[in-house]
């Protein structure tokens, strides 16, 4: 192989390294209890956690996600979806056909105001066994073992309407949540990623801005969380179960600052060009 070809190949490798993304293959998490036994018998165990895992299709890396549930139920407000109510843990229900009666699959939420003196007295009774915004805002907290970019969600059950809100924690340290109002989250490191109207039971693309985080909140449309841009979204009549979510390749092209190794490759390639020119002289 002559010097010109060697130099051309070196340059191709070097510039390829400059633009190469860090690849993290996509994966999909299924909260379908017909495939996994996530028994739903203890409906008073507020703060319960359910852990799932998915294997990246290219790298084979396993990323886990732990899911819990929250709602703004702290206090004695009798106002529907009271802004002054602070966040408490809730019960994360998981519906399916293994270890329980059959039904529409996916995550539902039963908050602490179920059958209480507060407003949400029908909580836990269909359709309020799902994730809903009738009287209180139910949301699912998702904590991943590494930062991920959510790309798609799918609902397994919908009643009346299915407007969805999504937030990601962008701060440092543990994500503040319980004891705060939803409005306080957006001043405590949480970012309102988006709200999506009428999601239905087909797969829905989300997070088009490619936000990446280890910690996410997904729930029934919640304007208190900082996103009021969804003009087609409405509160009080959204009921759904979260069935699957997908993450995308964590590709981050290094266009701003080349990695040191890439700079070395470029340097070697350019040095080869210089040597070749000297030999020709």
- Using a cut of 0.75, tell me whether the model's pTM lies above it: yes
Residue-wise pLDDT tens digits, 150-209: 999 999 999 999 999 999 999 999 999 999 999 999 999 999 999 999 999 999 999 999
Half-sphere exposure of 159 (CA within 13 A, CB side): 17
Percent pLDDT > 70 in the chain is: 73
3-state secondary structure 86-127: EEEEEEEEEECCCCCCCCCCEEEEECCCCCCCCCCCCCCCCC
Q: What does the longest C-alpha to C-alpha distance in the chain come to? A: 92
Other CB atoms within a 10 A radius of the CB of residue 267 amount to 11
Residue 141 has what DSSP assignment? Answer: E
Alpha carbon 77 to its chain centroid, in Å, reads: 30
The whole-angstrom separation of Cα 19 and Cα 23 is 12
Bridge partners for 190 per DSSP? 169
Residue-wise pLDDT tens digits, 195-214: 999 999 999 999 999 999 99
* pLDDT at 164 (0 to 100): 98
Bridge partners for 91 per DSSP? 110
Q: Say if CB 65 and CB 137 are below 8 A apart.
A: no
> Which of 221, 236, 227, 226 minimizes the C-alpha distance to 163?
221
Residue-wise pLDDT tens digits, 48-101: 999 999 987 777 889 999 999 999 999 877 788 888 999 999 999 988 765 444
> Which of 130, 123, 85 minimizes the C-alpha distance to 103?
130
């Amino acid at each position: 192989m002559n010097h010109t070809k060697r130099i051309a190949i070196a340059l191709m490798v070097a510039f390829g390294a400059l633009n190469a993304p860090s690849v993290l293959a996509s994966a999909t998490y299924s909260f379908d209890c017909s495939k996994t036994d996530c028994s739903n018998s203890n409906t008073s165990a507020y703060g319960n956690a359910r852990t799932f895992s998915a294997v990246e299709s290219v790298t084979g890396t396993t990323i886990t996600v732990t899911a819990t549930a929250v709602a703004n139920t702290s206090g004695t407000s009798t106002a529907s979806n009271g802004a002054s109510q602070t966040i408490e843990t809730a019960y994360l229900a998981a519906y399916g056909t293994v270890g329980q009666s059959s039904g529409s699959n996916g995550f539902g939420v039963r908050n602490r105001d179920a059958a209480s003196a507060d407003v949400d007295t029908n909580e836990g009774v269909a359709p309020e066994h799902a994730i809903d915004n009738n009287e209180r805002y139910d949301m699912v907290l998702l904590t991943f073992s590494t930062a991920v970019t959510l790309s798609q969600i799918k609902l397994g059950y919908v009643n009346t309407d299915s407007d969805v809100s999504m937030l990601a924690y962008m701060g440092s340290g543990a994500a503040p949540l319980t004891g705060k109002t939803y409005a306080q989250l957006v001043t405590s490191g949480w970012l309102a990623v988006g709200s999506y109207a009428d999601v239905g039971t087909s797969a829905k693309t989300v997070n088009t801005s490619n936000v990446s985080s280890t910690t996410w909140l997904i729930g029934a449309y919640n304007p208190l969380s900082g996103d009021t841009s969804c003009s087609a979204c409405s509160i009080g009549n959204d009921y759904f179960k979260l069935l699957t979510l997908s993450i995308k390749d964590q590709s981050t092209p290094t266009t701003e600052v080349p990695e040191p190794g890439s700079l070395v490759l470029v340097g070697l390639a350019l040095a080869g060009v210089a040597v070749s020119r000297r030999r020709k002289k």
